[in-house]
Amino acid sequence: MSKQLSGHIDRCIFSFVEMYKKLKTNMPEITELSNSEKTELAKGLGEIAEKYNIIIQTCATDIDYTSFGINPSGCMNLDILGKANNIRFKKLKHKGMRKNCKCIETRDIGAYDTCPNGCKYCYANSTPQKAIENYKKHNPNSPILFGKINTTDIIQQGNQQSFLDLNQNLKLF
C-alpha cells in the first residue's frame, strides 16, 4: 500500500487504539497493545515510511518514536490545515483534546448518539441502537439536529474565535 501511495500523499499519521468505555462496549474484540508491541510496530512503520519516502507522524502517543523517523505531531494541527487550504494561521499553542494530543482545539458540531452509520470505533455514539432511535427523531424543520427546542431549554452561544492570520491571508488576495 505504501508503494502505491508514495508520491500521492504528503504524510501518514497514526495513533494507537485508546480503550475508552464506549469502545469496550462496541468492540470488545479489540485488545490494547503493550508498549513493546507498539514499539515493534512503530519501528516497522518507520522503516516502511523511509523506504517509500513518506513522512510519518503520530497523534496522541505517549512514547517517543523519533528514533524510527516518526515525528510527534497531531492529526489536525494548524500547519496541516493551513497547507491543505493555502491559508496561514496565527501562531498558537495547541491545547489538544485528550492526553498527549497536539491537535488544535476543536468544537464538536452535531449531537452525541445521532449518527446512524454504525462505525464501531466512533466515540460519539454510546450504542448503535441509541443513535438510530435519535436519528429517527430528526426534524428537518427544527434548528437542532434531533427533537425540537423546548421553552425550558437554554441556548448558549459558544465562544468561537478565528485562528486565521489576517495580515498574512490578506496578501493572498
Work out the number of other CB atoms within 10 angstroms of the CB of residue 61: 21
pLDDT at 26: 80
pLDDT (tens digit per residue) in 109-149:
778 898 899 888 787 888 889 999 999 998 888 888 888 88
Q: Are residues 122 and 68 part of one domain?
A: no
Q: What nine digits make up the cell of 145?
A: 439536529
What is the C-alpha to C-alpha distance for residues 22 and 35, in angstroms, rounded to an integer?
22
Q: What is the mean pLDDT of residues 82-106?
A: 79
Residues 52 and 42 in one domain: yes
- Does a structural domain hold residue 154? no
pTM attached to this predicted model: 0.72
Residue 134 lies in domain? 107-149
Based on the domain organization, do 47 and 71 belong to the same domain?
yes
Residue 171 in this model has a pLDDT that exceeds 60: no
For the ranges 61-75, 78-92, 135-149, the maximum mean pLDDT occurs at 61-75
Count Cα atoms within 13 angstroms, Cβ side, for 95: 4
Average pLDDT over residues 32-41: 95
R_g of the chain, CA atoms, integer Å: 20
Asked if the structure places residue 46 within a domain, the reply is yes
Q: Does residue 159 lie in a domain region?
A: no
Question: By the 8 A CB rule, do 113 and 26 touch?
Answer: no
**Are 37 and 95 in the same domain?**
yes
CA 91 to chain centre: 20
- 97 and 120 in a single domain? The answer is no
Average pLDDT score, the chain: 86
Please check whether residue 15 is in contact with residue 75, taking contact to mean a CB–CB distance below 8 angstroms. yes
| 164 located within any domain | no
Handedness of CA 44, 47, 49, 52 (dihedral sign): negative
* Residues 12 and 89 both lie in one domain: yes
Same domain, yes or no: 61 and 88: yes
Do both 11 and 67 map to the same domain? yes
Question: What residues contact residue 63 under an 8 Å CB cut-off, 6+ apart?
Answer: 35, 38, 39, 42
Q: For residue 100, which of 16, 12, 11 has the smallest C-alpha distance?
A: 16
Q: How far is CA 173 from CA 43, 86, 170, in A?
A: 44, 12, 6
Mean pLDDT of 21-46: 90
Residues 99 and 142 in one domain: no
The answer to whether residues 52 and 82 belong to one domain is yes
- Say whether both 43 and 111 belong to one domain: no
* Residue 59 forms part of a structural domain: yes
> Using an 8 Å Cβ cutoff, are 32 and 17 in contact?
yes
Number of domains comprising the chain = 2
CA distance 55 to 67: 14
> Does 158 fall in a domain?
no
